[in-house]
Chains A and B, each alone.
Chain A
Amino acid sequence: MPSFNTHPSSYRDPSGFLFYKNGVLYRQVNKIFKKDFEDFIDTGLYDHLVDKKILIPHQTINENLTGSEDWLQTLQPEVVPFISYPYEWCFDMLKDAALLTLEAAKEALNFGMMLKDASAYNLQWHGGRMMFIDTLSFESYDEQKPWIAYRQFCEHFFAPLALMHYLKEPLQNLLLAYPDGVPLSTAKKILPFKSKLNLHTSLHIHLQASVANKLKNNAQQKPFTKQKMQNLLRSLEEGIGFFCFSQSPGVWSNYYEEANQREDYVKNKKQIVSQWLNKLNVNSVFDAGANEGEFSEIAAEKTRQVICADYDHYSINKFYRKIKKHNWFNLYPLIIDLSNPSPSIGVNNAERDSFLKRTKVDLVLALALIHHLAIGRNIPFESIAKMFSGLGEYLIIEFVPKEDEKIQLMLNQKKDVYHWYNEENFKTAFNQLFTIVENHNVGNSNRNLYLMMKRDA
């Protein structure tokens, strides 16, 4: 019997499953899904979705790699180099994922098929765009039936987007609390009154939450029609299209404007980072504390993949818009709080890996970040060094001394219990896990940049 490992999150749908064999990811299609899968291919829907860059392409393997009796076909999907989850996405990413799901549903309808689920986990940020990754989500369309994935779509997309729109709060973490989507009854209670004045929010959240559970399922069901389905999709699309996340200034949104006033500092920092990037010849970078991505952009020009994370939703949302505008394909903007990175979740805590487990890069960039972790969050240097050593082989880190005006600003609002915060202790702590390769003073500031290499690298 050939050995393979089923992907821990691939157990819900009897149509097939994802598995790894010899380190390669495959998708098995089961016999039970024969008719729908054949329709999906034969109608031309698969080719159409791939051409339109809505769906991730696959290769057909024509070999039963699992030895399963249920086997119908084996597919090898294009590799997504870095997997991220909706609770790490900014508002615009989730909105684009929602609109792409609706586009996939509309396209499917034109080919006599329909989406049978509408989970936010069916999409990934790949090659500079949102892409649908679940090939087995399309089934033959029965005009008499409504959309089976309607409520799921509302819980995974409509409710969190409506909440962020109306409350003007970054609530991506709600999707971590509710991996199956925000319950509509919960969303209804949190949403302000004015949300009822919007037709689409009123129907898809307020009315649905109030009425759905009260309706008796044995009541006589009138057949649905294709026109009704199209109206439903149009309404969801108009509702989501209306939602936006205002650009009120974030914690760091003015950082570069302010930092640019110190022109020498930023210019010199860019020169040093570029120089080191050229010298290291790395493929992948994690920009921790990326802010609006100014240094991620430099890294993206010189490497294949840059994961740019910040805990400020507004900064990442702004950078995401810039990435889309410029069609940058190798940047992965994410909202990550390094003092509490996304944990492993789901069945056996194995369905979705933690952020730290998923992130393995050649180089970690930690620019103007150390004081936010050490003084802002009270994290000892040793813990910070341990976290960075688990992520990458090289580290470019900026040390900001306590006399720096930014730290003094922080200390104006809290008691100074950071007697241990100095450059000597920083070097001692990092020296246990890293070798210091080079260091440079930045501009005319009192900040120092360090290039370090992991000791066991």
Chain B
Amino acid sequence: MHIHKYEKAVLAVTGALLLGFLAALFYSAFAMDIHVHSHVESIDPANVRTTPPFDQPGVREVAPGRYEAVIIGQAWSYTPNEIRVPAGAQVTFIATSTDVLHGFAIEGTRVNMMLVPGQVSRATYTFDEPGEHLLICHEFCGLGHHMMYGKVIVE
């Protein structure tokens, strides 16, 4: 097969470009520690409310400046549906669903994960500035999906 020099060039440039993108992504993952939320932990979805830590949903300080927010998603609300943390708090969100799939996206942050019945989702984020963020269910969960939201208030 004869490959024209322009074809060779475009193949090389494309390959280099894609490898460059991949290198940037791996750099951000390993050197800057920016990962996707990939917590692997299963839970019985029928007994979420009696399984720790979901037997006591809410925010608690686990170390100075570090918080855990345990949140249950169900059609069509979050429990609790409003949490308050101080500015500068590093918050680990621990969440799951008791029924169908739900979304868990805190607008204005990179906390964006799925709640899948039977799986526990976790994400950590530091809220530097005071303000109010919507917590949005962004996966279709039935008739009242567009009414399912909460709030994260940074004080």
> Do A and B interact?
no
Interface residues of A (CB under 8 A from B): none
